[in-house]
Amino acid sequence: MKRLMKMNPRDTVAVALRPIPAGEQLEFEGLTLQASQDIPQGHKIALTAFAPDEVITKYGYPIGYATAPIAAGDWVHTHNIKTNLAGEEEYDYKPELYPVTYPKRELTFQGYRRANGKVGIRNDLFIIPTVGCVNGIAEQMLTEFKAAHPDLGGFDNFTVLKHPYGCSQLGDDHRMTRSILLDAVNHPNAGGVLVFGLGCENNIVAEFRSMLGDYDESRVKFLVAQEVGDEVEAGLVLLEELYEAAKEDAREPVPLSELNIGLKCGGSDGFSGITANPLLGAFSDFIISQGGTSVLTEVPEMFGAEKMLMARAESREVYEDIVSLINNFKQYFLSYGEPVYENPSPGNKAGGISTLEDKSLGCTQKAGTSPVVDVLQYGVKLRKKGLSLLQAPGNDLVAASALAASDCQLVLFTTGRGTPFGSFVPTVKVATNNELFAKKGHWMDFNAGPLLEVPMAEVLEEFINYIIAVASGQKTRNEQNEVRELAIFKTGVTL
């Protein structure tokens, strides 16, 4: 196995592909290096000497500057490198569009055609509380219903989309809660929905219902707990009606152009930008080449790599939208007196990521090379085929929920540290390294670790086949483990 990897010919550091003990001599691209300290797997080694304040390059771009003298062979990490980023920046529109395309293939998955023309990859039954006060009753209702229908009937999953909001919220918080819940009701994976309210919340059911627009009354039911005697009994009657409506639903062949893929990472490590994120980038380019859609979010983890995304805007209008997306999120941080670049996390650092640029340049590889065609505000559904950017924070649950709410039928989630979570749509966890996949096979769905030895084309083909199987009904680990969650972004006051 190779011991070091350089991400770009311009790089001045390389990544250790296995732990390197102090004193080990390394031959790499014509250089002879001696490791001056123990260098953990996934961490960086200096390929040349750096003076203080000298720029350090990875992925072909600066990832920070040296804070102390660094010799060739030294471990480069948070003790001797610091971010170059600070506050807002000025940007220029300089298009650089070099998309990688793939031949169009007549591939299909087995999906559910909806009456409104959308396509789902699951036929799920959702109970959607309009307010957190009824979460417990919704769980009780669903427990009784599942006991009566252990075979699920025409459904793939039964889920309560629990959340703590829907009341005591003002302004943007109230609007965001309502938008995300409306998005969930209208999601193509929803084969049946019971909207369940208390009756005195500010996210009142009657108003919520009026904002849904056209909907299939056989597939969306409403219940207000304070308006009935036994709310559990009343709910079970409505769930039975949804069950009957869905029992004959069947999958049919659907072209890959109908797939909407969410791109997300969390618990990143030094291999994220080498294996799993490039794999998602290649898959994003592939699915877009087939006429499909992918969505990148985590705006704070675009900081330091945003110029690359701006250069891929398909028009000046999209470029201006990306600039606003970046600057507005920086202002959000600053409005609370928080540093814009308080990133990466302790887990990221333990895995080998030293600065936000280091993290962001690896993170944005999930978006491949395709042009950016649209920028979506939080809670807004997809409008165009191709690659879109979505406003949402880096938080795993909030960002994955935002991707799902935008009409992504599944979320692809890369991680080098591992996580058991899943959104309310199938969430494919892609391991960045072999060790994680072996240790946490009950959490992880796909292993990108072999990319250290196997060509991308080979692993990509395996991944394409796996995603088609998931889209056709094969359950992900989060589904098997009954971990399906919803998290909503909050910015303001609670009454």
- pLDDT tens, the chain, 495 aa long: 689 999 999 999 999 999 999 999 999 999 999 999 999 999 999 999 999 999 999 999 999 999 999 999 999 999 999 998 876 788 999 999 999 999 999 999 999 999 999 999 999 999 999 999 999 999 999 999 999 999 999 999 999 999 999 999 999 999 999 999 999 999 999 999 999 999 999 999 999 999 998 999 999 999 999 999 999 999 999 999 999 999 999 999 999 999 999 999 999 888 999 999 999 999 999 999 999 999 999 999 999 999 999 999 999 999 999 999 999 999 998 898 888 876 788 888 998 999 999 999 999 999 999 999 999 999 999 999 999 999 999 999 999 999 999 999 999 999 999 999 999 999 999 999 999 999 999 999 999 999 999 999 999 999 999 999 999 999 999 999 999 999 999 998 888
- Whether the upstream peptide bond of residue 150 has omega within 30° of 0, thus cis, is no
Q: Measure the CA–CA gap between 182 and 186, rounded to whole angstroms.
A: 6
Angle between helices 171-185 and 396-405 (to 10 degrees): 60
**How many Cα neighbours within 13 Å face the side chain of 129?**
30
Q: Could you tell me which of 90, 93, 88 has the C-alpha nearest to residue 318?
A: 93
Contact indicator for 211, 130 with CB cutoff of 8 Å = no
Instruction: Give the per-residue pLDDT at 273.
Output: 92
Q: Measure the CA–CA gap between 304 and 300, rounded to whole angstroms.
A: 9
How is residue 86 written in tokens? 């600070």
- What are the backbone dihedrals phi and psi of residue 40, each rounded to the nearest 5 degrees, phi first? -65, 155
Contact indicator for 445, 477 with CB cutoff of 8 Å = yes
Q: Measure the CA–CA gap between 141 and 239, rounded to whole angstroms.
A: 9
Q: Measure the CA–CA gap between 260 and 237, rounded to whole angstroms.
A: 34
How is residue 282 written in tokens? 């290649």
Instruction: Give the per-residue pLDDT at 223.
Output: 98
Q: If you ran DSSP here, which 8-state letter would residue 3 be given?
A: S
- What are the backbone dihedrals phi and psi of residue 62, each rounded to the nearest 5 degrees, phi first? -65, 135
Q: Where are the beta strands (DSSP E) in 286-424?
A: 293-296, 372-376, 386-390, 410-415
Vertex 432 angle, CA 255 and 59, to 5°:
95
The model's pTM:
0.94
Instruction: Give the per-residue pLDDT at 88.
Output: 72
Determine whether 247 is exposed, middle or buried from the number of CB atoms within 10 Å of its CB (0-12, 13-18, 19+): exposed
Can you spell out the DSSP letters for 56-69?
A: EEETTEEEEEESS-
How is residue 449 written in tokens? 């670790």
Instruction: Give the per-residue pLDDT at 489.
Output: 97
How is residue 184 written in tokens? 């969930």
Spacing of C-alpha 134 from chain mean position: 28
Can you spell out the DSSP letters for 110-175?
A: EEEE-TTS-EES--EEEEEESSGGGHHHHHHHHHHHHHH-TT-TT-S-EEE---S-SSSB-HHHHH
Instruction: Give the per-residue pLDDT at 495.
Output: 86
**How many Cα neighbours within 13 Å face the side chain of 260?**
22
Contacts of 422 (CB under 8 A, 6+ apart): 400, 476, 477, 478, 479, 481, 483, 484, 485
Instruction: Give the per-residue pLDDT at 341.
Output: 76
Sheet holding 4-5, edge to edge: 4-5, 13-16, 44-46, 75-76
Q: Could you tell me which of 150, 161, 157 has the C-alpha nearest to residue 194?
A: 161
Vertex 24 angle, CA 275 and 63, to 5°:
45
- What are the backbone dihedrals phi and psi of residue 386, each rounded to the nearest 5 degrees, phi first? 110, -160
Q: Could you tell me which of 187, 38, 66 has the C-alpha nearest to residue 126?
A: 187
Indicate the Cα dihedral angle 72, 76, 81, 84, nearest 10°.
Answer: 90
- What are the backbone dihedrals phi and psi of residue 278, each rounded to the nearest 5 degrees, phi first? -60, -35
Could you identify the residue written with the tokens 């203080």?
Answer: 52
Which H/E stretch holds residue 461? helix 456-471
